[in-house]
Amino acid sequence: MDMNHNEEGTVTGGIAVDRLRSIIERVERLEEERKALGADIRDIFTEAKSAGFDVKVVKQIIKLRKQEPAEVEEQETLLDIYRRALGM
């Protein structure tokens, strides 16, 4: 086994072990945080549903708020045109 030292710490097979471990552990922590945030978001949608809100519509509004106003307007215009074309 090739064991050398440099400013990164132990190097094995050309790999800076401490740096690799740090990267992996940081990603693992973030994945745990993401999982916890996902559970928190689900709880909020449950609360919204309990308060009588349509969760599907709430999700659509959240999606729309992320988009640029011009993009939203273009989509709404096309939706209206398509609805009229189909007699809806």
Give per-residue pLDDT as tens, 5-39: 555 578 888 889 999 999 999 999 999 999 999 99
Within its chain, how far is the Cα of 25 from the centroid?
19
Q: Per DSSP, what are the bridge partners of residue 9?
A: 6
Q: What is the mean pLDDT of the chain?
A: 91
- What is the spatial distance between Cα 37 and Cα 31, in angstroms, rounded to a whole number? 10
pTM of the model as a whole = 0.66
Q: Which two tokens stand for residue 84?
A: 């009229």
Is the distance from CB of 42 to CB of 36 less than 8 angstroms? no
